[in-house]
Amino acid sequence: MSDTVSSDKLLREFAPQIEETGKLGKLWIAFLIAVLLLGVFALYWQVSRGHIVTGMRDNVVWGVYIVNFIFFMGISYAGALISGALHLFHAGWRKPIIRMAEFITIISLLIGPVFIMLCIGRLDRLPNLILFGRIQSPITWDVIAISTDIIGCILFLYLALLRDLGKMRDFTELKVPKWKKNLYKTLALGYTGTEEQQIRLKKATDIMAGMVIAIAIIVYSVLAWIFSVTLQPGWHSTIFGPYFVIAAVYSGTGVLIVAMYFFRRVYHLEEYITIKHFVNVGVIMLVLAAFFGYFTFSEYLTKWYGSEKNDEQLIKILFDDYYLMFIFSNYIGVLVPLIVVGFRKLRTINNITIAAFIVIVALWFNRYLIVVPTLESPYLPIQDARAAWANYSATWVEWSLTAAGVAMFCLLFTLASKIIPIVQVSDLKEEPKETGDIYLK
């Protein structure tokens, strides 16, 4: 019964973050809500005045909304692949961080699709996607894939939560309002940890861990195909599927490390989340950085070397108009994690977190460089004196909604950590030993 004791000890320790919110915490939440309200105002502005208030025009028809969409879908990978893969590989050290990874997945999966809706001219006609849906269109693939992904990830997170929910229901010392207690009771679905329940839960989690990895790869490939099925120079590329998948997990690990850093500081988890976790996730990030750099390099090398007329034009725009952004996202964003994690001396928690933060920003710009410059260099030259038609620059409406998206992410993350401990409390050792891995049978 030592397991139960240890989880009770853990629960007692995490009780304060669930029971009350400090002054700073309240201020933080108020700030996030303020940013969200700015986003709501920007949305009202866009809906009432039309899409003319954005920086998008007939040539650059997709802007930062689509960039944000790809970005949030990308970080949703943190949970799906990292948590799923670590679960299947029985990585013992994963326990304190997988809950965070899973939260990142669900929350970003809920925010991502909102951005594609902001980009749609007639939101009132969204039902047409089902009423007149055409399976030939990659957007339909995307609708199917993303909704499957959301359901799969929620199931996976829920299965991973079940044991903790049971613990919290049974933990009588917790001083929380009645609705929270009832919530735990309902959500725990009568899980008491009998042997049969444990075996079933293990099997279900194993299956879902495999599924979310597969679904996540499909979702991100489909998203890449939206671009690569078109004939646009810069998009029409065969490696876009795997490239996007790698970029997604890469940005996901970045967000996971930053989340680890902040929760460790704010909730005083120094005892549980240690340098070991930062280095371990850091090494995953390093491997992904190498892959990402490799894909980016082959993508642009082949374009530049062959220098077909339109590819040449695109490369010229990238190196003339977007020089700093290109260097930052495709050089610094790759080299910094390689160096920081690669050299033992540089591997400190602060350094790894800074590298992770650079990765997140670099990956956002990487998506920007994929979406916007291509649309600025179509086959037929843009001959339009109106500056907005030739070059895209996002307006305050788009930036406000982007900020609101980030704020929404932080807010949901904070609120989730107020309901469920951010670190898994039930011990991993509770997993029944006798049921082998279903994938090894």
Q: Which is nearer to other proteins, 103 or 244 (CB)?
A: 244
CB of 263 to other proteins, least distance (A): 37
Query: Are residues 169 and 97 in contact, defined by beta-carbon separation less than 8 angstroms?
Result: no
Let me know the angle formed at the C-alpha of 276 by 353 and 167, rounded to the nearest 5 degrees: 100
Angle at 297 between CA 294 and CA 300, to 5 degrees: 150
Least spacing, CB of residue 383 vs other proteins, in Å: 5
433's tokens: 């030993």
Which is nearest to 88 in space by CA: 212, 269, 224, 171? 212
Q: Which residue number, 309 or 433, has a Cβ lying nearer to other proteins? A: 309
Question: Can you tell me whether residue 419 is helix, strand or coil?
Answer: helix
Q: Rank residues 83 and 221 by Cβ distance to other proteins and give the closer one.
A: 221
CA dihedral 15, 18, 23, 26 (to 10 degrees): 170
- Confirm if 430 and 198 have CB atoms less than 8 A apart: yes
Distance of CA 262 to the CA centre of its chain: 16
Which one, 43 or 85, has the nearer CB to other proteins? 43
User: Between residues 56 and 258, which has the closer beta carbon with respect to other proteins?
Assistant: 56
Contacts made by residues 333-339, CB under 8 angstroms, sequence distance 24+: 333/289, 333/292, 333/358, 333/359, 333/361, 333/362, 333/363, 333/365, 333/366, 334/289, 334/290, 334/292, 334/293, 334/296, 334/362, 335/293, 337/282, 337/285, 337/286, 337/289, 338/286, 338/289, 338/290, 338/293
Which residues sit at the interface with other proteins, rule CB under 8 A?
49-52, 56-59, 61-62, 119-122, 125-126, 128-129, 131-134, 136-140, 143, 226-227, 229-232, 235, 375, 378-386, 390
For other proteins, the closer CB: 45 or 158: 45
CB of 141 to other proteins, least distance (A): 9
Whose Cβ is closer to other proteins: residue 377's or residue 417's?
377
User: Is 53 or 339 the residue whose CB approaches other proteins more closely?
Assistant: 53
Q: What is the DSSP letter of 81?
A: I
Beta carbon nearer to other proteins, 63 or 333:
63
- The distance of closest approach from Cβ of residue 53 to other proteins in the complex, given in angstroms and rounded to an integer, is 8
- 349 SS3 class: helix
> Least distance from C-beta 153 to other proteins, angstroms?
23
Assess contact for 377 and 318: CB atoms under 8 A: no
- Cβ proximity to other proteins: between 22 and 50 the closer is 50
- Least gap, CB of 26 to other proteins (angstroms): 40
The answer for 405, left when phi > 0, alpha when psi is -120 to 50, beta otherwise, is: alpha
Q: What is the dihedral of CA 94, 98, 99, 104, to 10 degrees?
A: 160
Cα–Cα distance for residue pair 362/365, rounded to 1 Å: 5
Q: Which is nearer to other proteins, 310 or 417 (CB)?
A: 310
Instruction: Give the number of other CB atoms < 10 A from CB of residue 129.
Output: 15
Report, in Å, the least distance between residue 234 CB and other proteins. 11
Rounded least distance, CB 326 to other proteins, Å: 21
* Alpha-carbon radius of gyration of the chain: 23
* Minimum CB distance to other proteins, residue 347 (Å): 43
DSSP 8-state class, residue 273: S
Q: How far is the CB of 303 from other proteins (least distance, A)?
A: 17
Distance CA 103, CA 416 (A): 8
d(C-alpha 195, C-alpha 197), whole Å: 5
> CB 290 → other proteins: shortest distance, Å?
31
